[in-house]
């Protein structure tokens, strides 16, 4: 075994001078490339987030000057879980149902579409474009499409297929707030169940693209080994292919929870009908909507939403890392 000679002092000095001796233009370019994105990130992410936490302990209408901000401690949180208890629990139930629903229905459909498209079917590119098309639309546009085209009581697609377009027997898809599933005095309203389909329509394409990329990265040798061992297609997918896509599963899990908790655009585009309360809608309602003008309470709702997102992500990732260490 031969030892490599250490670089001489002169060579080390030249390397050091080569790294340290940037021109003024290089240093300026480096500062701009690092400083501008950092400044933008701090200004538009960290500063609003920290300001929201601080404002949640204050009483402020959000319009008057900063001098009118009054510190009230935990009063906003106390009011949320006492005076406005029904609103916050209704929103929490809807967000929880949305999380579970996105994990079950759209994720399963996205995996199925990705698996079929991975088979290189004829016209696969066309199908992929059709399934992915809703993803490029904003949730606000999706809301308008489903409100005017799919759920219109007079001429919507669903009402027409069911023959319920007459004024006497029309279905108010987005206005029926009676409970489809009741949990005591709370529950999941029929109009919220209807909007779940619109949210799923957009989410399926996103999940499909993520898993399609994951399937393309699976080692073909694993598939061959499964076929040699006599695995059928379902067994190979369940025991070989799907476990090999662990990084994709983690990304999908985190993205699905974040999408469910921050859902806002599609409900807001429908003018926030009763029965569709979400935590993000409560934030806006307390800031600018009905009963608004309370930046402190709206910020408190925002902090609760932030803690739910961060708490789940930390728990999910820590459990995933713990299982990986145990498998090693």
pLDDT in tens, 159-208: 888 888 887 788 888 888 888 888 778 888 888 988 898 888 888 988 99
Residue 78 in this model has a pLDDT that exceeds 90: yes
Separation of alpha carbons 89 and 266, rounded Å: 20
Beta bridge partners of 71: 58
Interval 18-45: pLDDT, tens? 545 678 888 888 888 899 999 999 999 8
Burial 28-62 (b: 16+ CB within 10 A, else e): eeeeeeeeeeeeeeeeeeeeeeeebeebbbbbbeb
- pLDDT at position 300: 92
Instruction: Please say whether the beta carbons of 56 and 72 come within 8 A.
Output: no
**pLDDT band per the 50, 70, 90 thresholds, residue 289:** low
* CATH fourth-level superfamily of 87-275: MetI-like (1.10.3720.10)
Residue 57 in this model has a pLDDT that exceeds 90: yes
Interval 204-244: pLDDT, tens? 988 999 999 888 888 888 888 888 888 888 888 888 888 88
Separation of alpha carbons 75 and 39, rounded Å: 33
Share of the chain above pLDDT 70, in %: 92
- pLDDT at position 12: 52
* Tokens 């992500």, located at residue: 313
- pLDDT at position 147: 85
- pLDDT at position 38: 92
- pLDDT at position 4: 52
Average pLDDT, integer, range 289-305: 80
For the record, the structure tokens of 88 come out as: 């916050």
For the record, the structure tokens of 14 come out as: 């030249």
Average pLDDT, integer, range 117-131: 83
Instruction: Please say whether the beta carbons of 107 and 207 come within 8 A.
Output: yes
Residue 10 in this model has a pLDDT that exceeds 60: no
Average pLDDT, integer, range 250-261: 86
pTM of model > 0.85: no
**pLDDT band per the 50, 70, 90 thresholds, residue 324:** confident
Element housing 324 (H / E): helix 295-327
- pLDDT at position 40: 93
Average pLDDT over the chain, rounded to whole?
83
3-state secondary structure of 162: coil
Interval 269-279: pLDDT, tens? 777 677 888 88
CB atoms within 10 A of CB 328: 5
Instruction: Please say whether the beta carbons of 115 and 215 come within 8 A.
Output: yes
Instruction: Please say whether the beta carbons of 192 and 176 come within 8 A.
Output: no
**Residues in Cβ contact with 276 at an 8 Å cutoff, skipping those fewer than 6 apart:** 94, 189, 191, 192, 195, 267, 270
**pLDDT band per the 50, 70, 90 thresholds, residue 109:** very high
Q: Which of 276, 250, 319 is nearest to 98 (CA)?
A: 276
């Amino acid at each position: 075994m031969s030892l490599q000679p250490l670089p001489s002092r002169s060579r080390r000095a030249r390397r050091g001078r080569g790294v340290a001796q940037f021109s003024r233009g290089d240093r300026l370019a480096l500062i701009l490339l690092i400083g501008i994105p950092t400044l933008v990130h701090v200004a538009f992410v960290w500063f609003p987030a920290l300001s929201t936490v601080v404002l949640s302990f204050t009483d402020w209408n959000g319009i008057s000057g900063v001098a009118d901000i009054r510190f009230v401690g935990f009063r906003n949180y106390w009011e949320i879980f006492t005076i406005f208890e029904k609103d916050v629990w209704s929103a929490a139930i809807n967000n929880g149902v949305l999380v579970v629903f996105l994990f079950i229905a759209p994720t399963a459909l996205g995996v199925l579409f990705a698996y079929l498209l991975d088979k290189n079917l004829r016209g696969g590119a066309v199908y992929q474009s059709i399934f992915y098309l809703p993803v490029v639309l904003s949730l606000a546009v999706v809301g308008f499409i489903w409100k005017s085209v799919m759920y219109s009581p007079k001429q919507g697609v669903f009402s027409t297929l069911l023959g319920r377009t007459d004024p006497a027997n029309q279905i108010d898809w987005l206005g029926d707030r009676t409970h489809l599933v009741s949990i005591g005095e709370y529950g999941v309203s029929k109009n919220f169940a209807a909007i779940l389909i619109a949210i799923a329509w957009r989410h399926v394409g996103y999940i499909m693209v993520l898993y399609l990329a994951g399937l393309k990265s699976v080692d073909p040798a694993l598939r061959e080994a499964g076929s040699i061992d006599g695995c059928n297609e379902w067994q190979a997918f369940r025991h070989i292919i799907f476990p090999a896509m662990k990084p994709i599963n983690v990304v999908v899990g985190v993205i699905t929870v974040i999408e469910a908790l921050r859902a806002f655009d599609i409900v807001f585009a429908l003018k926030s009908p009763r029965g569709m309360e979400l935590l993000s809608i409560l934030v806006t309602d307390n800031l600018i909507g009905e009963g608004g003008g309370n930046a402190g309470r709206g910020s408190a709702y925002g902090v609760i939403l932030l803690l739910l997102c961060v708490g789940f992500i930390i728990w999910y990732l820590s459990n995933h890392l713990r299982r990986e260490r145990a498998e090693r």
